[in-house]
Structure 1
Amino acid sequence: MDFYWIKTNKLIKRLFSNQVWDLPNTEKKIYLTFDDGPTPEATEWVLSVLKKHDVKATFFCIGDNVRKYPELFHKVLSEGHAIGNHTYNHLQGWKTTNKLYLENIRLCEEEISRKIDDIKLYEEKEKKEKSGNGNPNGIPHKITGLFRPPYGKIKPSQSALLRKKGYKIIMWDVLSADFDQKVSPESCLQNVVKNTAQGSIIVFHDSKKAFRNIEYALPKAIEILKGKGFQFATID
């Protein structure tokens, strides 16, 4: 990603209004999101920060990472966070045929569904052993209808096909730029706190590359934004 806006340009929002850039509301709600996980280098730490501050977020997961790190994926769900599809292999839509792109998204959806089924079976077994009945109610077992394109790059034709299948294309209003090694941790923090407004969708990454920046910026951003009266919510 060479050029990017920290605060998404209003013209872009209008041109691609069939994609979700922010979520206007009357309750000072904002939406914290994390891309590219789960990863052992960052996701567990992110979850610990969110738990400490009693914040729920939405995680856009790469299917292959869900396959490799099922325990982390389970933890994201069990702690009450929402999940979204981020393709199976982090594909760049502009450089990918529609057929391959949709197939990769389907693979991610299937991986997420498979892992949720595994969790459901585990919970049923645990509850039967402890109480004699199998009625799991801890994790909402459903396939996500949220999709975020890697790099934010998706063809209009791809977007239309996904929306026809029932997906919501979730973009963003504020980009932390945590992935950019040229961006300092303090700049990452300021990118978020100076640009967040009511209804903003904020992007961080729970990835190894972003960890230097999020380790500094994420806890401070949560504290500052809470201090401004914002409430954190998940994307439905």
Structure 2
Amino acid sequence: MNTRRGHWAKRGKAATIACGLAAILLTAASSDEAHAGPKPRAYYESTGEVIWEVPVGEKAIALTFDDGPDPKDTPQILDLLREYDAKATFFIMGRKAREHPEIVKREALEGHEIANHTFTHPVLVRCSTKQIRKEIEDTQEILTSAAGVRPVLFRPPEGFFDSRVLEISKQQGLKTVLWSWHHPTDDWSRPGVGHIVRGALGDVRNGDIILFHDYVHGPTQTIAALRQILPKLAKDGYRFVTVSELLRGKAQENQAERMGATK
């Protein structure tokens, strides 16, 4: 089961209550079921409806940051990313973007990808269809205004989704993106810098999507962990790219293979 559920039950209490009247209770026992609903992950990957990672031929990975922007932590993360010429994807809450549009603008200006993470961070499968649509649409408008570019990626809070969530996100022109489960950074729970580093650096593969947070309750450990993670991955030859860049790279590889097959 998703160990973040207890954390978010407290942190997102108001948002959870707001969607509670339309509750669709989660009873799945496995990670696949808990995240992907009644269909297995393999189905969503094969259809391209949901992305967990993007296997590519080159040594490129995508660092992603959820739940910001935070006025203290996000600028420090941006400074560190700039030091390593690293581009990241920020899955941003609409409420916080409205409070700190200048940080969202900086992220976009520095070449990072701006992505949708709902307005208040509710567990969307417990929301009505109308509530899901409002959470995503309102955030799209706020991020577009702040960044000057309309997001094309969406990450459902806690990674929970159902067919309604996927359909509404597609209607907004959004691709649903989760993260590589074999990188359990767990930085939201502040498990210790060493744990975060090991989660990020263990079993690294081309095209991985690694989950971090630029907002957590309490003092962040993510920044200290990044000071070890970034130089190690850079030394190993990895480029830090946005999720959309990974997707474009994969599309180019597929096209090259098709062209080679027709010769």
Given that 1:19 and 1:168 are in contact with CA atoms closer than 8 Å, whether structure 2 keeps it comes out as yes
**Correspondent of 1:187 among 175, 195, 216:** 195
Partner of 2:243, secondary structure, is coil
In the alignment, residue 194 of structure 2 is paired with which amino acid?
E
> 5+ unaligned residues in a row in structure 1: which ranges?
117-140
Partner of 1:16, secondary structure, is helix
Alignment partners' CA distance in 2, 1:180 and 1:196: 22
Q: Report the CA distance shift for 1:24/1:211 in structure 2 as closer, same or farther (over 3 A).
A: farther
CA displacement at 1:26 relative to structure 2: 1.1
Q: What residue number does 2:240 align with?
A: 232
Partner of 1:115, secondary structure, is helix
> Is residue 46 of structure 1 aligned with residue 74 of structure 2?
no
Q: What residue number does 2:168 align with?
A: 161
Identity of aligned residues (%): 29
Alignment partners' CA distance in 1, 2:149 and 2:223: 31
Alignment partners' CA distance in 2, 1:210 and 1:143: 31
Alignment partners' CA distance in 1, 2:72 and 2:120: 18
Q: What residue number does 2:226 align with?
A: 218
CA displacement at 1:207 relative to structure 2: 0.6
Partner of 2:210, secondary structure, is strand
Alignment partners' CA distance in 1, 2:236 and 2:104: 31
Given that 1:196 and 1:202 are in contact with CA atoms closer than 8 Å, whether structure 2 keeps it comes out as no
Q: Which has the higher contact order (CA 8 A, sep 6+)?
A: 1
CA displacement at 1:2 relative to structure 2: 4.8
Taking structure 1 as the reference length, what is the TM-score of the superposition?
Answer: 0.81
Q: What residue number does 1:178 align with?
A: 187
> 5+ unaligned residues in a row in structure 2: which ranges?
5-30, 33-38, 245-263
Given that 1:192 and 1:221 are in contact with CA atoms closer than 8 Å, whether structure 2 keeps it comes out as yes
Alignment partners' CA distance in 2, 1:25 and 1:210: 36
Larger fraction in helix: 2
After TM superposition, where is structure 1 displaced by more than 3 Å over at least 4 residues in a row?
none
In the alignment, residue 109 of structure 2 is paired with which amino acid?
S
Q: What residue number does 1:132 align with?
A: none
CA displacement at 1:46 relative to structure 2: 0.4
Partner of 2:114, secondary structure, is strand
Q: What residue number does 1:3 align with?
A: 3
> Is residue 60 of structure 1 aligned with residue 88 of structure 2?
no
**Correspondent of 2:145 among 114, 120, 123:** 114
Given that 2:73 and 2:214 are in contact with CA atoms closer than 8 Å, whether structure 1 keeps it comes out as yes
